[in-house]
Amino acid sequence: MSELNNIALKILEKGKGILAADESTATMTKRLDGVSVPSTPENRLLFRETLFSSSSMKECIGGVILYDETIRQETSNKNKIPELISKMGSAPGIKVDTGAKILAGSPDEKITEGLDGLRERLKEYYKLGAKFTKWRGVYNISKDYPSKLSIQSNAHALARYSALVQEYNMVPIVEPEVLMDGEHSAKDCFQKTSKVIKKCFEELILHKVDLKGIILKPNMILAGNKSKDKISNEEVAKLTLKCLKDSVPSEVPGIAFLSGGQSEIEATENLNLINKYNDTNFIMSYSYGRALQQSALKFWSKNIDDINGTQKVFNHRAKMNTLAAQGKWSKDLEN
């Protein structure tokens, strides 16, 4: 087994998942504004350190994706953040793209940038303690989108990124996110997500990326948030599994879903059903941001010094998702 394959498997072992705490300063400011907490570097660090030092980090969280600001910060005990995460038995990771920009030639779509200077950044992040990285491609769905240009350009960027990351002995998370925004049906989402993922793997193979040393971070198959044709959670699980079985090579060790606009309970319930029906060898887990943090953030905002109370809320959510990643969750456990 390669070292990269070991890292990927360790991140997702025993129902563990990934905490996506890589919100940019702008996004984190929006979240904190939403709960009336001033967005200062100190407050952003305090909230994140509260989560990173909670007991569920040992049992439920196999990896944490950080933002550039956070990977360089020190905790209140003068530990570096990656050291704190490693000490809790989890792997520190880092978002390395520089964001989605307008795609030249298709102004309604996005291309993720950040390949320029990436080698140098990776070298530095590796020294800072990162064991894995993240790059997110985003795709709109409508009658005309995602276009061939968007599918091809983002797949190419994800593959080049992955090849560079593996040069530095880190595991790339490959995140092609087909957005939930729109009126599209689940069937549309299924067809377009399948196309997107297949093209990503074509490019990854072309760029000689070791598929045993990546983690795929896809969206689940859902109807658009403005769609009139909603489907049941069972159908979400079955369509998602069908899409991945048809599109993902068997060498890939694990799939960690993004929550992509689902509520906390919805993201947990869908993950649980996916694992109940999972007849593949893929580990199916979670890489959630809002769906792991939202309740904890709301609780914390009422009194930012109540560390224990906030951790209790976060521990519950992490535990629920880790049960769901093993197909052992039920609604009764939520109370």
Active site residues: 217
Q: Is 77 exposed, middle or buried (0-12, 13-18, 19+ CB in 10 A)?
A: exposed
Q: Is 156 helix (H, G, I), strand (E, B) or coil?
A: helix
CA dist., res. 271 & res. 325, Å (int): 6
CA angle (243, 246, 247) in 5-degree steps: 80
Report whether 221 contacts 239 (CB < 8 A). yes
CA dist., res. 21 & res. 108, Å (int): 28
Report whether 174 contacts 216 (CB < 8 A). yes
Q: How would DSSP label each residue in 62-121?
A: EEEEE-HHHHT-B-TTS-BHHHHHHHTT-EEEEE----EEEETTEEEEEEE---TTHHHH
Instruction: Measure CA 304 to chain center.
Output: 26
Closest CA to 12 of 137, 131, 138, 96: 131
CA dist., res. 176 & res. 106, Å (int): 18
Maximum Cα–Cα distance for the chain, whole Å?
A: 53
173 strand-pairing partners: 134, 215
Q: Is 216 helix (H, G, I), strand (E, B) or coil?
A: strand
Q: Is the peptide bond before 146 cis (omega within 30 degrees of 0)?
A: yes
CA dist., res. 300 & res. 52, Å (int): 14
Q: Work out whether strand 283-288 and strand 132-139 pair parallel, antiparallel, or are unpaired.
A: unpaired
174 strand-pairing partners: 135, 216
